[in-house]
């Protein structure tokens, strides 16, 4: 099928052609005719499948042809609202369709004024939109089409009550479209409440096929090796842009500073950042000025950036769904991507659970170090050695070894130091399968012994 077969308004078709759209993606091919027919729609699709155009093009076609005047798109985050608004603007600019992004953290005045001037499409986050409706600031804005984009993300972020309240202010005579990557019960119940006799479509199967281009690896490491492993991976992988996921804000700050100190072009993203700083960081990353984004799960929600070649799980995510959302940031539009996870032996069982629940094929990997130290490694060791304080018993040990040739003794001491520091200068990162099996067996024996001891204590 070709986009020309949808018979869009000529000015909208011009925007589609200039954007380089030729053949619709599966979600576009399924959704666009239904939206054009005026049907309510529940669509299950991940970010990156082309869903913005799937709801945006038929919506703008109706505006361009004079069938409707206003439309509303509700998104979970400011970043996604901005991305959706930008894409709709570029597709609809020749048809004179005006879009407005509405979110918190900035003044009300300009947003209210532009809505009253008659923008056709408002893309908004739930909190600010509810505020505007509740305070009677936008009573005149009555959209004929309403889109809920990434509904499951809104559920995860606690916006469900705001969404329900917003729909109390919106006319009942509307067309409603709901897009979500997953369909938990609260989302199904919401769909039953706000949609009328909807069509259900899903391209999750298509997306999962696409996700086969994501190679998933994991490295089993000691807890103390996380920084070392991530640095070695950043040095050895062919990276265009990457996201490194951490669990906590303070870990994002610490790791970002560590990488910057080593000369990496890294930026941190978490919920404590001011909105202005957040926007600057994301724009810089999107333009490729910074290549490495260190982020928490919450901060990265709605972050849709092209050409992300690698996703690193510095810490394993808390649940399988988070893993799916994380790795979905790469491998977009049929391009290949790498999803790499760092785990300790204690976390390995959790990784296996995630692997089983999401049906992912992950392979154990190691990074092999060279047998020879390069100049940087030698410089590093020299600096480390200079910084070692002299032990109080160093002289005693030298006297004990006085029969040895001094130069041979010095070489042996330096060799011992290199062996101790070898993890930082090119040795293997990650345990191989045999070592992992041995460590898991040892760990399970320890756990078994602990359980037996606890049982004996209870019997007493």
Q: Which domains does the chain have, with CATH numbers?
A: 3-202 (3.40.50.300), 208-364 (3.40.50.300), 375-424 (no CATH)
Residue 273 pLDDT more than 70? yes
Local confidence band at 106 (pLDDT 50, 70, 90 cut-offs): confident
Among 307, 264, 260, which residue's Cα sits nearest to residue 287?
Answer: 307
Q: What's the first-to-final CA gap in the chain, in angstroms?
A: 75
Local confidence band at 415 (pLDDT 50, 70, 90 cut-offs): confident
Among 21, 174, 15, 35, which residue's Cα sits nearest to residue 99?
Answer: 15
Instruction: Give every CB contact of residue 21 below 8 A, 6+ residues apart in sequence.
Output: 3, 53
Distance of CA 401 to the CA centre of its chain: 57
Q: CA angle, 156 as apex, 154 and 160 as ends, to 5°?
A: 50
Looking at residue 168, its pLDDT comes to: 92
On whether the CB atoms of residues 329 and 295 are closer than 8 A, the answer is no
Q: Which of 27-41, 127-141, 356-370 has the lowest mean pLDDT?
A: 356-370
Question: What is the distance between the alpha carbons of residues 73 and 438, in angstroms, rounded to a whole number?
Answer: 53
Distance of CA 7 to the CA centre of its chain: 36
Q: Give the chain's mean pLDDT.
A: 85
Tokens of 380: 């590093």
Residue 394 pLDDT more than 90? no
Q: What is the pLDDT of residues 9-24, one digit of tens each?
A: 999 999 998 887 888 8
Tokens of 327: 């790795």
Looking at residue 206, its pLDDT comes to: 44
Residue 210 pLDDT more than 50? no
Other CB atoms within a 10 A radius of the CB of residue 275 amount to: 12
Looking at residue 301, its pLDDT comes to: 65
Looking at residue 55, its pLDDT comes to: 96
Distance of CA 74 to the CA centre of its chain: 20
Angle at which helices 375-386 and 406-421 cross, to 10°:
100
On whether the CB atoms of residues 228 and 438 are closer than 8 A, the answer is no
Residue 371 pLDDT more than 70? no
Q: What is the pLDDT of residues 377-392, one digit of tens each?
A: 677 678 878 888 888 8
Looking at residue 421, its pLDDT comes to: 64
- In the three-class reduction of DSSP (H, G, I as helix; E, B as strand; rest coil), residue 263 is classed as coil
What torsion, rounded to 10 degrees, do the Cα atoms 175, 180, 183, 189 define? Answer: -30
Residue 330 pLDDT more than 90? no
Between 336 and 246, name the one with better pLDDT. 246
Between 90 and 302, name the one with better pLDDT. 90
Q: CA angle, 367 as apex, 447 and 431 as ends, to 5°?
A: 20
Local confidence band at 452 (pLDDT 50, 70, 90 cut-offs): confident
DSSP string, 105-142: SS-SHHHHHHHHHT-SEEEE-HHHHHHHHHTTTTTT--
Other CB atoms within a 10 A radius of the CB of residue 373 amount to: 16
Q: What is the percent of the chain with per-residue pLDDT over 70, rounded to a whole number?
A: 90
Please give the average per-residue pLDDT across 74-78, as a whole number.
Answer: 89
On whether the CB atoms of residues 102 and 121 are closer than 8 A, the answer is no
DSSP state of 408: H
Please give the average per-residue pLDDT across 424-453, as a whole number.
Answer: 72
Please give the average per-residue pLDDT across 248-265, as a whole number.
Answer: 92
Residue 321 pLDDT more than 50? yes
């Amino acid at each position: 099928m070709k986009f020309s077969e949808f018979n869009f308004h000529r000015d909208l078709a011009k925007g589609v052609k200039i954007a380089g759209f030729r053949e619709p993606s599966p979600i576009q091919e399924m959704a666009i005719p239904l939206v054009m027919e005026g049907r309510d729609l529940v669509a299950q699709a991940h970010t990156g499948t082309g869903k913005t155009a799937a709801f945006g093009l038929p919506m703008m076609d109706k505006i361009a042809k004079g069938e409707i005047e206003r439309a509303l798109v509700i998104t979970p985050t400011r970043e996604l609202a901005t991305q959706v608004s930008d894409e709709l603007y570029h597709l609809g600019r020749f048809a004179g369709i005006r879009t407005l992004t509405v979110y918190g953290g900035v003044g009300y005045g300009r947003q209210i004024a532009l809505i009253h001037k008659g923008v056709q499409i408002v893309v908004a986050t739930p909190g600010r939109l509810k505020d505007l409706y509740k305070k009677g600031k936008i009573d005149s804005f009555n959209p004929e089409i309403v889109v809920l984009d990434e509904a499951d993300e809104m559920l995860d972020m606690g916006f469900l009550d705001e969404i329900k309240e917003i729909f109390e202010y919106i006319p009942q005579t509307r067309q409603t479209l709901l897009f979500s990557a997953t369909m938990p019960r609260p989302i199904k119940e919401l769909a039953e409440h706000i949609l009328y006799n909807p069509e259900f479509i899903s391209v999750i199967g298509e997306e999962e096929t696409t996700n086969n281009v994501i190679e998933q690896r994991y490295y089993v490491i000691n807890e103390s090796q996380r920084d070392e492993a991530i640095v070695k991976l950043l040095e050895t992988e062919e990276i265009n842009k990457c996201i490194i996921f951490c669990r906590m804000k303070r870990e994002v700050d610490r790791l970002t500073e560590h990488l910057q100190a080593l000369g990496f072009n890294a930026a941190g993203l978490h919920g404590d950042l001011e909105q202005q700083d957040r926007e600057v960081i994301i724009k810089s990353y999107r333009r490729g000025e910074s290549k490495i984004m260190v982020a928490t799960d919450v901060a990265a929600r709605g972050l849709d950036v092209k050409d992300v070649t690698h996703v690193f799980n510095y810490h394993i995510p808390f649940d399988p769904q988070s893993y799916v959302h994380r790795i979905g940031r790469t491998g977009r539009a049929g391009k290949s991507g790498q999803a790499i996870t760092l785990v300790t032996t204690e976390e390995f069982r959790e990784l296996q659970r995630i692997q089983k629940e999401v049906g992912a094929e992950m392979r154990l990997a190691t990074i092999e170090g060279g047998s020879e130290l390069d100049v940087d490694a030698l410089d590093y060791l020299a600096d480390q050695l200079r910084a070692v304080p002299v032990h109080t018993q160093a002289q005693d040990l030298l006297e004990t070894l006085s029969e040895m040739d001094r130069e041979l003794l010095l070489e042996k001491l330096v060799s011992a130091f290199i062996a101790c520091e070898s993890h930082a200068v090119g040795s293997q990162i990650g345990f191989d399968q045999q070592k992992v099996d041995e460590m898991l067996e040892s760990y399970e024996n320890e756990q078994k012994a602990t359980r037996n001891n606890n049982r004996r204590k209870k019997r007493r």
